[in-house]
Structure 1
Amino acid sequence: MHDFTQDLAALGASSLLRTRRVVAGAQGPLLDVDGRTTLSFCSNDYLGLANHPEIVAAGVRAADEYGMGAAASALISGHSMAHETLEHDLAAFTGMPRALYFSCGYMANIGVIGALVGAGDAVFLDRLSHASLIDGARLCGAQLRIFPHNNIERLEQVLARSKARRKLVVTDAVFSMDGDLAPLAELAELCGRHDAWLLVDDAHGFGVLGPQGRGSLAHAAVSAPHVICIGTLGKAAGVAGAFVAGDGGLIEWIMQRARTYMFSTASPPLLAAATSASLAIIARDQWRRARLTQLAAQLAQGLAGLPWQLLPSMTPIQPLIVGDNAGARALAQRLREQAIWVPAICPPTVPKGTARLRISLSAHHTPEHVAQLIGALQQAAEDLP
Structure 2
Amino acid sequence: MDLIAHVNRKLDTLASHSLTRRRRVADSACAPRQVVDGRELLAFCSNDYLGLAAHPQVVEALREGASLYGAGSGASHLVSGHSRAHALLEERLAAWIAPHLEQARALYLCTGYMANLAVLTALGADAEAQIFSEALNHASLIDGARLARAGVTVYPHGDVDALAAQLEASQAATKIVVTDSVFSMDGNLAPLPALLALCERHGAWLVVDDAHGFGVLGAQGRGALEHFGLRSPNLVYIGTLGKAAGVGGAFVAAHASVIELMVQRARPYIYTTAAPPALAHALLASLDIIGGPEGARRRAHLAALVDSLRAALRFQRWQLAPSATAIQPVIIGSNDDALRAAAALQEQGLWVPAIRPPTVAPGTARLRVTLSAAHGIDEVARLARALNELEKTAQ
Q: TM > 0.5 between the two?
A: yes
Secondary structure of the 1:277 match is helix
Residues 306 and 378 of structure 1 are in contact (CA less than 8 Å); yes or no, is this contact kept in structure 2?
no
Whether the aligned pair in 1 keeps the contact of 2:326 and 2:370 (CA below 8 Å) is: yes
1:53 alignment counterpart = 56
Measured in 1, the distance between the counterparts of 2:273 and 2:315 equals 51
Q: Residue 197 of structure 1 aligns to a residue in which SS?
A: strand
Report what 1:207 is aligned to: 215
Name the SS for the 2:291 alignment partner: helix
Amino acid in the other structure paired with 1:104? T
Amino acid at match of 1:296: V
| Structure-to-structure mapping, 1:1-20, within 5 angstroms | 1-3=3-5, 4-20=7-23
Task: Tell me if the contact between 1:83 and 1:101 (Cα under 8 Å) persists in the aligned partners.
Answer: yes
Amino acid at match of 1:357: L
How far off is 1:103 after superposition? Answer: 0.3
Offset from partner CA, 1:188-208 (integer Å, 9 cap, x none) = 110001010000000000000
Please identify, of 8-17 and 48-57, the stretch whose mean Cα deviation from structure 2 is larger. Answer: 8-17
Aligned residue among 321, 329, 335 for 1:319: 329
Structure 1 residue 46, shift from structure 2 partner? 0.3
| RMSD after superposition | 1.0
Q: Counterparts of 2:39 and 2:52 in 1: how far apart (Å)?
A: 23
Q: State the secondary structure of the residue aligned to 1:23.
A: coil
SS in 1 for 2:373: coil
**Which residue of the partner structure matches residue 303 of structure 1?**
313
Of 155, 159, 162, the match for 1:154: 162
Runs of at least 5 residues in structure 2 that lack an aligned partner in the other structure: none
Matches within 5 A, 1:96-115: 96=101, 97-115=104-122
Residues in 2 aligned to 1:384 and 1:132: alpha-carbon distance in whole angstroms? 35
Looking at structure 1, the residues matched to 261 and 186 of structure 2 have their Cα atoms a distance apart, in angstroms, of 33
Q: How many residues align?
A: 385
- Aligned twin of 1:266: 274
Which letter maps to 2:201?
R
Shift of 1:2: 4.5
The residue type paired with residue 66 of structure 1 is Y
Contact 1:94-1:215 at 8 Å conserved across structures? no
State the match for 2:373 in structure 1: 363
Residue 334 of structure 1 pairs with residue 344 of structure 2: yes
Is 1:143 equivalent to 2:146 in the alignment?
A: no
Asked whether the 8 Å contact 1:93–1:279 carries over to 2, the reply is no
Are positions 1:66 and 2:69 aligned together?
yes
Q: Which TM-score applies when normalising by structure 2?
A: 0.96
- What is aligned with 1:88? 91
SS in 1 for 2:95: helix
TM-score (norm 1): 0.98
Equivalences for 1:92-241 in 2 at 5 Å? 92-95=95-98, 96=101, 97-118=104-125, 119-241=127-249
State the alpha-carbon separation in 1 of the partners of residues 4 and 37 from structure 2: 33
Q: Which amino acid aligns with 1:75?
A: L
Q: Identity of counterpart residues, as a percentage?
A: 52
Q: Take 1:305 and 1:128, find their aligned partners in 2: how far apart are those partners? A: 25
Structure 1 residues 74-124: Cα deviation after superposition (integer angstroms, max 9, x where no partner): 011111000000001111112241100000010110111000113221000
Q: What residue number does 1:290 align with? A: 300
Q: In 2, distance between residues paired with 1:167 and 1:57? A: 44
Q: Supply the distance in 2 between the matched residues of 1:379 and 1:317 (Cα, whole angstroms).
A: 21
SS at match of 1:378: helix
**Which is worse superposed, 1-10 or 161-170?**
1-10
- The separation in 2 between residues aligned to 1:196 and 1:83, in whole angstroms, is 30
Q: Output one character per residue of 1:39-89: Cα deviation in whole Å (capped at 9) or x when no partner.
A: 000000000000111111111111111101100100111110000000011
Report the CA distance shift for 1:94/1:240 in structure 2 as closer, same or farther (over 3 A).
same
**2:39 counterpart letter in structure 1:** R
Structure 1 runs (4+) greater than 4 angstroms displaced: none
Q: Distance in 2 between matches of 1:91 and 1:305?
A: 44
| Alpha-carbon distance in 2 for matches of 1:187, 1:330 | 39
Match of 1:78 among 81, 90, 96: 81
What CA distance in whole angstroms lies between the structure 2 residues aligned with 1:11 and 1:351?
Answer: 16
Deviation of 1:382 (Å): 2.7
| Aligned residue number for residue 281 of structure 1 | 289
2:393 counterpart residue number: 383
Find the counterpart in structure 2 of residue 348 from structure 1.
Answer: 358
Structure 1: stretches of 5+ with no match in the other structure:
none
Supply the distance in 1 between the matched residues of 2:85 and 2:200 (Cα, whole angstroms).
35
